[in-house]
A = this chain, B = another copy of it.
Amino acid sequence: MPVPAPNLYPPFNTVRLSHVCLNVADLGASRAFYAELLGLQVTDEDDRHICLRGMEERGHHCVILQRSDRPGTVEMLGFKTFDDADLDRAEAYFAAKGRPTGWVQRAYQGRTLRTADNIGIPLEFHHHMDRLEPIHQKYALYRGVRPLRIDHFNCFSPDVDASVAFYSDFGFRVTEYTEDEETGRLWAAWMHRKGGVHDIAFTNGFGPRLHHIAFWVPTPLNIIDLLDLMATTGHLDNIERGPGRHGISNAFFLYVLDPDGHRVELYCSDYQTVDPDLEPIRWDLKDPQRQTLWGAPAPRSWFEHGTQFVGAEPREATLAATPIIAP
């Protein structure tokens, strides 16, 4: 089995993914997409940034939209640690691994460690983020797809084996993975900290690049509502793939593209993964039900398009295996 044993006693405690910062060309267009169409709640905005949260989140932001002259790039992926001292432990850990480390100031957050993973994805760890009042029972605020919380990141990696090893070492646990039968190498893997199928996944490809971010929604009907809304408000071309059920994760999904080409997944109904002895589920790269349980392969764009991380030059994947692509 190509999946490394998880490190159940990691050097520092990462609770969950927290937020992402996306570079965009036009804050107004992005606001319309994320707040009006998807239904995230704006928690702060000025002429440079918009902060958003999901309906059940009490942290200040799960998405930061940043006006940039490099739209369609990604500033960083954010994670929350269990306590403040975990940040120091994380700094020592990444420094020992030869990764760059530094402390940065971020609005609405406590002290924040910036580093980069083994393939160059910029990561920021914090423990404290300003807490806001609960709004999950303010039903008059629900709109769009009724996004409840950020669920996961998915990134292209040029070497998924290496990415999985890197994250396993500080406590991420693989729940499902796709193996290339011929080489025995990983083609993709889903890794979690928070007890769902993933906080972050890696897919073989030209990378590092962000494949997508995902939001958890209540039921498949909310995703159908979003499709109806997008299809009749001029956003037909932003619909990329779905709806469907993934074989991997068993989740019901839809993929859409934001105005700058960042891919967003709407996602629900995966399963609980808190058991430390949960056995990863293996899928064959040639199994079309891996992608969509109902058989429809993903379009070519889904395997090729992603958005680059600032300061991280992508490179070709070392594994040449080809997935099944829709004709």
Contacts and interface: CB of A to CB of B under 8 A. Distances in A.
A274 B139 contact: no
A1 interface: no
- State the number of copies, please: 4
Given A137-B232, A269-B218, A293-B232, A82 B276 contact: yes
Contact of A148 (B8, B136, B271): B271
A134 interface: yes
Given A58-B278, A221-B219, A221-B221, A272 B228 contact: no
Contacts of A277: 128, 131
B275 A139 contact: no
15 contacts: A16-B274, A56-B271, A58-B275, A80-B275, A137-B228, A137-B250, A139-B232, A140-B233, A218-B219, A221-B221, A231-B293, A232-B293, A236-B294, A239-B294, A327-B327
Interface of A: 8, 15-16, 56, 58-59, 80, 82-83, 128, 131, 134, 136-140, 148-149, 194-195, 216, 218-221, 224-225, 227-233, 236-237, 239, 243, 245, 247, 250, 252, 269, 271-272, 274-279, 281, 289, 293-295, 327
Given A56-B272, A219-B221, A232-B293, 20 more contacts: A16-B274, A16-B275, A56-B271, A58-B275, A82-B276, A131-B279, A136-B250, A136-B271, A137-B293, A138-B232, A219-B220, A220-B220, A220-B224, A227-B293, A228-B294, A230-B294, A231-B295, A236-B294, A237-B295, A327-B327
